[in-house]
Structure 1
Amino acid sequence: MLVASNQNWKDAPRSISRSPQAGHYRKLLWFKQPFPDNYTDEATFLDHLQRNPRLQPYEFWSLMSDATIIVQHLASVAVFCCCFVAIIHGRVSPVAVVGWASLCTVLAWALWDYWKGQELRKQRQASPSLTLDLKAKNAPSRPSSRSSQQRLTTAKSAALIYAALLGLSPILKSLTISTTSDSIWALSTWLLVINVAFFDYSGGSGTQLPASMSTNSAMMASAVLASRLPSTTHVFSLTLFSIEVFGLFPIFRRQLLAQSWPGHLLLTTVLTMAAWGGVFVTLTGGGRTAFVTGVILGCSLTVLSMGICSWWLIGLQKYKNEIHGPWDPARPVISSLGL
């Protein structure tokens, strides 16, 4: 009898803590309640409804700044297309195009390497304990040696790409010899549309699948376009130019956006002017007058389009009606541990 009473006394708190109050419904499944599984508490159901709980209102100037990333990429595609048209019609030398592009690439890489060195020094200053550990291990020159090794690896990769393009240029020239030009123009257009549609406009430094699809489609477009050029020198120049525009230039643009907003804005302006000027010269066949006209009209149209699209997105937010209620799955709240 004493053992039974002791057993009941041990089980009493557990049964009391797991039993709900009479007539009070709780949205929990780990204890039994005198309610069916599909029960709805009509008295408090509507009190928990929330409309757009995570809505972040758009701001005009933030949308304008985000649109500059899209403008930069569209301008880069337009510049590439204008350069191809000028090369195939013999208006400019392909060696001059790729020469100036390679010079800009080297300067951009030097600036990118300088930024990476600054980030490395900031990381070393922010972690003094790591610096002390490195000194204790008698390895003070490890960061500099790592930078030198990265520069050497970059130089080797550039030389390998250069040599590979020299060997592949005769193959690329005869790649689409049995295909009509109309099919080439249509295929390259769709490939460039895919490049624009799947480009990573988030501005992050990570590489995702859409960004890889975008780069691959641009490389395919440049390959089929290069097959229409008259010599292997033209093919080599256009292919190398496409690698610099679609492969390396986006990396520099992301880093420039992270490092300097004025520099990012200046680059956007220069690219927009070059793209619209080149488009007007290509369409009209004119010279300096057509270029200046394209710059003025094109830049004005670009700014106007950015403003209209920004206001349009702001106006669309009033139609957002996302309702959250008790039927939604519970969202875990993860508290910061202060690490």
Structure 2
Amino acid sequence: MSHKRIDISTSPPSLLLQPILLDSADPSPIWQKQLHRRQPFPDNYVHESFLAVIEEASTSPPPPLLLPLIISSLVISLPLSSTFLFIAVFVDLLRGALAPSLVIYGSLLGGFVGYLLFSLLTGPVKDRKPLRPTIITLLLLHCLSPILRTLTEATTSDSIWPLAGVLLLLGLVLGDYGSKPETAKGLAHSLSLTSTLSASVVLASRLPTNTHVFALVLFAVVLFALAPSLLKHLRAYTPPLAFLLFAITFASLHRSSSVAAVIFASTTFGVCVLAPFAMVWNWTEKSVIKGNWDVAAPVVRSGVR
């Protein structure tokens, strides 16, 4: 039987669609990896050697170590503990179990100590005058306390609690968990700080007196605005700081509600232990697919639209 040669460059499309006659003396045709040729195989036919190169080249990267992953995840536990600590302080102020003067003095002392540590870590800065803006900020917060206390007076508590929870959760999601201090300048960081401070203002409006409002907002400024900048410079001491802040938060929550303390401990355990363990366990399913194909290099022509 004679074979019919088809010239692809000059043949019409109707002729190209005609099947190629095979030699009847060849009962077992050989499959070829050529897309432009018609072969006596079904359209969904996959030869056993089609993925052989990929399967032979597929290798699993080495799994990460569990302990370094747990230590790295402690960075996430710091803002998580700060958020739950803020909730614990608010509940104690609302119930009258904590004096607002104690919160004010503690916030001022913590801010002063934090400023000294920040100055030692970053070095002396010329023309640094923190006293005047600090005093102005404190006076401004104290003057705005009566306004903040009546800010949500016409809103029911059933709407305040979900709103505050969503704002705090948004602050955690958009928080800056980078290792460099200069990374905390993006839009996500600004939105995170705005969300947490807005939550503090919303919750402060539920407190009974102006002193309570001033204490809670001042504590939020120190905890959410000033402390993260210091913790970025103390990144080498993240494990002991994370355990210390976890212990303080757990003890503060346990005073008000053992259920809240268990929820906080379970959340921290899930983020810092279960999540890294799941990542290591699922690493066996990860593979890098390689093959003996050429990478297509895009050609960009200037002036072509």
TM-score normalized with structure 2 length: 0.71
Instruction: Choose which of 137, 151, 155 in structure 2 pairs with 1:175.
Output: 151
Q: Identity of counterpart residues, as a percentage?
A: 28
Mapping 1:82-101, distance limit 5 Å: 82-101=88-107
Q: Does 1:155 align with 2:145?
A: no
1:255 to 1:330, Cα distance in 2 relative to 1, 3 A:
farther
Give every structure 1 segment of 4 or more consecutive aligned residues whose post-TM-superposition deviation is greater than 6 Å.
45-50, 297-301
Structure 1 residue runs without a partner (length 5+): 1-37, 40-44, 118-143, 286-293, 332-339
Q: Residue type matched to 1:273 in 2?
A: A
Distance 1:89 1:298, change over 3 A: closer
Cα shift at 1:112: 1.1
Q: Determine the structure 1 residue equivalent to 2:282.
A: 316
Distance 1:200 1:56, change over 3 A: farther
Question: Within 5 Å, which residues of 2 pair with 1:209-228?
Answer: 209-228=187-206
Aligned positions, number: 246
Cα separation, 2, equivalents of 1:324 and 1:188: 49
Q: What do residues 126-181 of structure 1 show as CA deviations (whole Å, max 9, x unaligned)?
A: xxxxxxxxxxxxxxxxxx6xx241x31x3233223212212221221111111001
- Once residues 231 and 328 of structure 1 are traced to their aligned partners in structure 2, the CA distance between those partners, rounded to angstroms, is 68
Which residue does the alignment assign to 1:268? 242
Which deviates more, 237-246 or 276-285? 276-285
Contact 1:273 1:299 (8 Å CA) reproduced? no
Superposed displacement of residue 228, structure 1: 0.7
Could you tell me how far apart the structure 2 residues matched to 1:69 and 1:97 are?
25
The gaps in structure 2 that reach 5 residues or longer are 1-34, 37-50, 299-305
In 2: Cα distance, 1:304 partner to 1:48 partner? 37
**Cα distance in structure 2, aligned partners of 1:265 and 1:74:** 14
Root mean square deviation, CA, Å: 3.2
Structure 1 residues 47 and 173, CA gap change in structure 2 (3 angstroms): same
CA offset digits 1:221-255 (Å, max 9, x no partner): 00100111111111111111101111111111111
More helix by share: 1
Match of 1:277 in 2: 251
Matching residue's letter, 1:218 = T
Where do 1:239-250 residues align within 5 Å? Answer: 239-250=217-228
- Deviation string 1:41-67 (CA, Å, 9 cap, x unpaired) is xxxx997996579x5742212111111
Assess, with a 3 A threshold, how the Cα gap between structure 1 residues 99 and 315 changes in structure 2: closer, same or farther: same
CA contact (8 A) 1:273 1:298 kept: no
Q: 1:47 & 1:201 partners in 2: Cα distance?
A: 41
Q: Which has the higher contact order (CA 8 A, sep 6+)?
A: 2
Q: Secondary structure at the match of 2:274?
A: helix
Residue 200 of structure 1 aligns to a residue in which SS? Answer: coil
